Structure 1
Amino acid sequence: MTKRDITIASTETTLRKRSYTIQAVVRAVAILNTFTSTSEVLDLRVIAARANLHKATAFRLLETLVETRLLERAGKQGYRSSVQMSRTRRFRIGYASQSNLLPFTATVTDSLVVAANAANIDLLIANNEFSPKIALQNADKFISEKVDLVVDSQINVAVAAQIAAKFSDAHIPFIALDIPHPGAVYFGADNYKAGRMAGRYLAKWATRHWKANPEQLILLGVDAAGPLLNARLTGVVDGIVELLPNGRSIPTHHYDTKGGQFEATLDIVRKHLRRKRPERALVGAVNDSTALAALHAFREIGLERSCAIAGQDGSLAAREEMRRSSSRLICSVAYFPETYGARIIQVALEILKHKAVAPAVFVQHELITAENVNKIYPNDVWMKSAPTRG
């Protein structure tokens, strides 16, 4: 039995105690309540999700409401309400993304928009632009808008306490993505665990493909995020040391990539390779953007065969790269950001309904390699070749 079935069963048990309640009417009103105005057009899928009904039940009720002229058809698959229902205020959630420049963040944003719409929630979106100053301004904006809850994705630990204090003073609960903030529910990766997965795979790969130990280990981090995000790199080192003989003796070079951006990382790795031209280099990257930048730097001077690179995020660009024959982006740890929206909205609703919520909600982690990428993401090729709608 699904959670929705349990919810419906619980509701119906309550209603049966009141013998004069007609459940069909209750469900019909629930459908009418899914419309926020007489101008809104919804399809069956969205209506069923908002009313918490099976599609077959929702369809029969929708057709009945059309016949009684409480609803009208809008196009082939849409419905529009003919009546304006009085209702309680919709929840309003503020969401500040880390930056529009990161593919991972863009995917999270898209999934949040879909999930908020399905849950009948108003989502106010802002962009922190990798800037502590803008992150603080966005926090003030959400407070002035009197949102019910905030989902904040900003990685600068220097302002984490200030942002937390703002929301605390305004009595606004908030969910922190990627980097924990004082008083917030954390949602994101177990960074050390994810890094260790990548480090172990780097060590195994090096043992299989190189006769000698790696000459150097390059770590590409985000220092502004503090030790929490860079725990991915700590995990990389520990995973290598765990499986690679004399792993601790490998010379290590740690670089700050200015927020995990491609161009900044490309410049950093180019300069490194001009100073220290390796024959066997392992690279542990904080995300796929930095991993791909490092790969580009090695490739452009003809040294791709001298490196093995591990990314983080499992992004589409990284998956496409791993499908290339003999690519030295050998793995990435996937977090499946396309699933974030539904889970974040679920946690947000539990908080807003004053239910008990764990202080940290960790996402799923899975190591992606050239050997399993098509199994884990079988639809990539289809999505890339699917015709666009005109």
Structure 2
Amino acid sequence: MKLPSKPSRTTEANPKRGYTIQAVVRAASILNAFQSTSEVLDLRVVASRVGLHKATTFRLLETLVETHLLERAGKQGYRCCVQLARNKRYRIGYGSQTSLLPFTAAVSDGLVVAANNANIDLLVLNNALSPRVALQNADTFVSEKVDLVIDSQINVGIAAQIAVKFAAARIPFIAIDIPHPGAIYFGADNYKAGRMAGRHLAKWATKNWKNGPEQIILLGVDAAGPLLNARLSGVLDGIHEVSPTAHRIPTHHYDTKGGQFEATLDVVRRHIRRRAPERALIGAVNDSTALAALQAFREAGIERNCAIAGQDGSLAAREELRRRSSRLICSVAYFPETYGEQLIRLALDVLKHKPVAPAVFVQHELLTPQNVDKIYPNDTWMKSSPESI
């Protein structure tokens, strides 16, 4: 007769320990729901993250507030007051596009702050608008064995080479503004943003120029390939949409060597000397090129012969929009000051193997002299002086 076997001590996976206090376990799960001390969560989000009923979650939240481990943030939000030790401190590589453009500087500043708040080590390298440097930096990220890379480089010709390096090292990466094979794209819907600016340019010309524009100038970044210059395609289509006869107007496209101010200034100066524009609509790939074009027309004494649309919504562009009678008539804002927190949140989702979309599009909004103070009411509080023209 076969005797029954004794129960094995390993038959029950993860047995509960008799002295575990479930209320403490639940409170700890609430604290662990916060990824950093800067993150503000409402009741619904916390309950979803910890998998508890809202009523139970609410009681735990309020208890943790009373014990000063959490604090209330606004009417319905909560913020963690303690920096919890995590099982792993992630290390992320960030390849900055350049230190010369205000937009990129705003992205970099926000990313450094967000990484620090999330207890992440951030290795920052400057791609310097150079394909050679960007490739070297990719090698550095691989040799440093970072957990993930956030790359902002505009030379589409080396995108595949960079992608191969990270794929071979099994390092996930996020590409800002310019798609790379195998990367998660984070950036603008460039064509939509350009079309928004183009429509505004055409409407402005219809209202202010009796005979309409006599030429169109597009200032692009050819090294970035078709995606970034899709802003200019959008500008042109937006103009044609509002002014069906605009397709007969001569259009001049110029490369600005990475969207830099000085290079654009030289280009537009030469154009003014050769073409003597009387009514020129100008679509610029970013605010640096828009402001450079404005300076070229202004120093030639013919500012009233142009109307310019920028892209980025930079502080310098916002100050110019506030200037009476300026011919920078709009800029599309992308709010780069918000990129850092969004990028770190996306990076953590990737590292924790959560499902993420292959492309994350940022918010953009048309800034004009009429709405700039409403959208950016706190510019006058900023200590840094805007770039002058």
Q: Which residue of 2 aligns with 1:208?
A: 207
How do 1:71-110 residues align onto structure 2 when only pairs under 5 Å count? Answer: 88-110=87-109
Q: Which residue of 2 aligns with 1:21?
A: 21
Contact 2:90 2:120 (C-alpha < 8 Å) held by counterparts: yes
CA distance in 1, matches of 2:279, 2:39: 57
Q: Which residue of 1 aligns with 2:127?
A: 128
Q: Which residue of 2 aligns with 1:261?
A: 260
Query: Which of structure 1's runs of 4+ aligned residues deviate more than 6 A?
Result: 16-19, 28-32, 52-56
Q: CA deviation at 1:279?
A: 1.1
Q: Which residue of 1 aligns with 2:67?
A: 60
CA distance in 1, matches of 2:124, 2:141: 9
1:151-181 superposed Cα distances (whole Å, 9 cap, x missing partner): 0000001100000000000000000001000
CA distance in 2, matches of 1:303, 1:60: 66
Return closer, same or farther for 1:114/1:166 CA change in 2, 3 Å cut-off: same
Contact 1:31 1:47 (C-alpha < 8 Å) held by counterparts: no
> Which structure has the bigger radius of gyration?
2
Q: Which residue of 1 aligns with 2:147?
A: 148
How do 1:1-390 residues align onto structure 2 when only pairs under 5 Å count? Answer: 20-24=20-24, 27=27, 45-46=37-38, 57=64, 60-61=67-68, 88-384=87-383
SS at match of 1:302: coil
Return closer, same or farther for 1:268/1:59 CA change in 2, 3 Å cut-off: farther
Amino acid at match of 1:140: D
Contact 1:333 1:366 (C-alpha < 8 Å) held by counterparts: yes
Return closer, same or farther for 1:86/1:255 CA change in 2, 3 Å cut-off: closer
Aligned residues: 342
Q: CA deviation at 1:114?
A: 1.4
SS at match of 1:246: helix
Q: Which residue of 2 aligns with 1:4?
A: none
Q: CA deviation at 1:214?
A: 0.7
Return closer, same or farther for 1:232/1:385 CA change in 2, 3 Å cut-off: closer
Q: CA deviation at 1:88?
A: 2.4
Query: Which deviates more from structure 2 when the two are superposed, residues 243-252 or residues 326-335?
Result: 243-252
CA distance in 1, matches of 2:360, 2:37: 28
Return closer, same or farther for 1:92/1:58 CA change in 2, 3 Å cut-off: farther
Q: CA deviation at 1:61?
A: 4.3
Contact 2:310 2:328 (C-alpha < 8 Å) held by counterparts: yes
CA distance in 2, matches of 1:176, 1:380: 29
CA distance in 1, matches of 2:21, 2:166: 42
CA distance in 2, matches of 1:55, 1:325: 52
Q: CA deviation at 1:60?
A: 2.8
Return closer, same or farther for 1:86/1:345 CA change in 2, 3 Å cut-off: closer
SS at match of 2:202: helix
Return closer, same or farther for 1:381/1:48 CA change in 2, 3 Å cut-off: closer
Contact 2:37 2:118 (C-alpha < 8 Å) held by counterparts: no
CA distance in 1, matches of 2:263, 2:188: 24
1:62-85 superposed Cα distances (whole Å, 9 cap, x missing partner): 59xxxxxxxxxxxxxxx999xxx9
Q: CA deviation at 1:117?
A: 1.3
Q: TM-score, normalised by structure 1?
A: 0.81
1:78-135 superposed Cα distances (whole Å, 9 cap, x missing partner): x999xxx985230111000100001000100111111111111111111000000000
Contact 1:48 1:54 (C-alpha < 8 Å) held by counterparts: no
Contact 2:69 2:82 (C-alpha < 8 Å) held by counterparts: no
SS at match of 2:175: strand
Contact 1:219 1:255 (C-alpha < 8 Å) held by counterparts: yes
CA distance in 1, matches of 2:330, 2:124: 32
Q: CA deviation at 1:356?
A: 1.3
Q: CA deviation at 1:213?
A: 2.1
Return closer, same or farther for 1:59/1:141 CA change in 2, 3 Å cut-off: farther
CA distance in 1, matches of 2:373, 2:380: 9
Return closer, same or farther for 1:28/1:245 CA change in 2, 3 Å cut-off: closer
CA distance in 2, matches of 1:356, 1:175: 14
